[in-house]
Copies of this chain bind each other. A is one copy, B any other.
Amino acid sequence: MSQVPSPVTVIDQLPEALQQRKALARRFKDIEYRHYRDDWRHIPRGTAVFGETVVYGYPHIGRVLALEAGLKAHFQAPFWAEEKINGFNVRIVRIGEQVLALSRGGFVCPFTTDRLPDLMPLEVFTRHPDLVVCAEVAGPDNPYLESSPPFIEEDVELFVFDLMRKNQAGFLPYRDKQRLIETFNLPPVPLHGYFHPHEVGRIRKLMLRLHEEWREGLVFKEDSPRDHRAKYVTGNINIDDLRAAADNLLDLPAEYVTNRLLRLSLFVEEHGLPVDAELERALGAALLEGLHQAVAKFRREHRVYTTFRCRFRERENAELMLEHLKRASHQVQIRRRDLRREGDHWLLEFDRIYPSLTGMLGDLLAGRLVFD
């Protein structure tokens, strides 16, 4: 953290970063702000600036692909193992009278901001107005991701895993975080225990249970002043990732598929799992079913898309969310399907249309000759 620039520097760098499009100026309702959308001169991606207030970006956490070797190589003291939740990262912060949720990239997420009163108690910000609550939002009805944790049946939930302060780059110490979470009744990520680095057997057992339950994995946080961290995911979450990516394969980075196949293989090998019919079938199905549906959908409707749905308390925020998605989606096209009252909420339905696969299927199904 020591190399992260001070708030004064973060603000001083803004004009140049804005000019180079490394930072963007935005507005959410009547709140103006700027945010760094890439890592830039040690300022972490997602750092947002509201007037004189800097909310630092959530730092990258390294991933190990070998559990035992990774723990040995990186942990010198006991650590907590928190569950890694398959959702999207937000930082929640009070700006004036409004509590906002910032995405990983640093823009105000209209969806999460709208739903905050449903997701967590907000009194914490009255007593601690300088707090930044770092959390994962996950669930089947979210505007960003096709996959979600198996234990959330509908809508979304929020899981707090870190606390920061405005104008400070590091995290609050672990025990301070736990105390505040308890005091203010914040919803925490599941804490799966406190381990010594040599207790690999216990962690393996825990990982295998998470794997069997198709959960994502663990984040290890060292009980030491340096607060060292690493994450490690289950084998099955890679299959889940591949399933979610099937209709978007052509727009993903080249190594998306191979990375996940490699992670899955390493997990299976380290934990001595059999490469059996069940696993093989799960992987094959994840890759094939989505593509097969995409082809069938293209034949019927001449486009490949996925329908997303999410709930809002205020209609205006649903409109802002759609606008934001349309502006932010360079490759993918957003098509509004419906916005209607349902119970206490407004239900928004929209499609993400994948132009690369749509275009390629259009060509291929018309019989185009490909030279490869």
B-binding residues in A (CB < 8 A): 60, 62-66, 68-74, 230, 249-250, 254-255, 257-259, 261-262, 264-266, 268-269, 275, 277, 279-285, 287-289, 291-292, 294-296, 299, 360, 364-372
Q: How far is the CB of A331 from chain B (nearest CB, A)?
A: 15
A288 adjacent to B292 (CB under 8 Å) = no
A369 adjacent to B62 (CB under 8 Å) = yes
By a CB distance below 8 angstroms, the chain B residues around A282 are 280, 284
Give me 11 A-to-B residue pairs in the complex whose CB atoms sit less than 8 angstroms apart, sorted by A's number: A64-B368, A69-B366, A71-B367, A249-B261, A262-B291, A265-B291, A269-B295, A277-B277, A280-B281, A280-B288, A281-B284
- Sample of 18 more A-B contacts, CB < 8 Å, known A74-B369, A265-B288, A279-B284: A62-B369, A63-B372, A64-B368, A65-B370, A66-B365, A71-B367, A73-B368, A74-B367, A257-B257, A261-B287, A262-B291, A262-B360, A268-B288, A269-B299, A275-B289, A277-B277, A279-B288, A282-B284
Q: In whole angstroms, how far apart are the Cα atoms of A289 and B276 in the complex?
A: 10
Given contacts A281-B284, A282-B284, A283-B288, whether A371 and B261 have CB atoms under 8 Å apart is: no
Q: In whole angstroms, how far apart are the Cα atoms of A73 and B264 in the complex?
A: 42
Q: How far is the CB of A35 from chain B (nearest CB, A)?
A: 21
Q: How far is the CB of A41 from chain B (nearest CB, A)?
A: 18
Most B CB contacts (10 A, CB to CB) among A66, A254, A277, A367 go to A367
B283 adjacent to A369 (CB under 8 Å) = no
Q: Which residue of B lies closest to A254 (CB)?
A: B254
Q: How far is the CB of A157 from chain B (nearest CB, A)?
A: 25
By a CB distance below 8 angstroms, the chain B residues around A360 are 262
By a CB distance below 8 angstroms, the chain B residues around A284 are 279-285, 287
Cross-chain contact of A369 among B230, B255, B366 (Cβ < 8 A): B230
By a CB distance below 8 angstroms, the chain B residues around A262 are 249, 291, 360, 364
Q: In whole angstroms, how far apart are the Cα atoms of A250 and B262 in the complex?
A: 10
Q: In whole angstroms, how far apart are the Cα atoms of A257 and B259 in the complex?
A: 12
Q: Which residue of B lies closest to A282 (CB)?
A: B284
Question: What's the number of copies of this chain in the assembled complex?
Answer: 2
Q: Which residue of B lies closest to A239 (CB)?
A: B284
Given contacts A282-B284, A288-B280, whether A367 and B72 have CB atoms under 8 Å apart is: yes
Q: In whole angstroms, how far apart are the Cα atoms of A296 and B299 in the complex?
A: 43
Q: In whole angstroms, how far apart are the Cα atoms of A230 and B364 in the complex?
A: 13
Cross-chain contact of A292 among B66, B73, B265, B372 (Cβ < 8 A): B265
Q: In whole angstroms, how far apart are the Cα atoms of A47 and B262 in the complex?
A: 39
Q: How far is the CB of A240 from chain B (nearest CB, A)?
A: 14
By a CB distance below 8 angstroms, the chain B residues around A259 are 372
By a CB distance below 8 angstroms, the chain B residues around A255 are 254
By a CB distance below 8 angstroms, the chain B residues around A269 are 292, 295-296, 299
By a CB distance below 8 angstroms, the chain B residues around A367 are 64, 66, 68-74
Q: In whole angstroms, how far apart are the Cα atoms of A69 and B369 in the complex?
A: 10
Q: In whole angstroms, how far apart are the Cα atoms of A230 and B73 in the complex?
A: 54
Cross-chain contact of A70 among B65, B74, B275, B369 (Cβ < 8 A): B369
By a CB distance below 8 angstroms, the chain B residues around A287 are 261, 283-284, 287
Given contacts A65-B364, A65-B370, A369-B74, whether A288 and B266 have CB atoms under 8 Å apart is: no
Q: In whole angstroms, how far apart are the Cα atoms of A284 and B370 in the complex?
A: 26
By a CB distance below 8 angstroms, the chain B residues around A60 are 371
Q: In whole angstroms, how far apart are the Cα atoms of A160 and B369 in the complex?
A: 24
Q: In whole angstroms, how far apart are the Cα atoms of A241 and B185 in the complex?
A: 54
Q: How far is the CB of A148 from chain B (nearest CB, A)?
A: 21
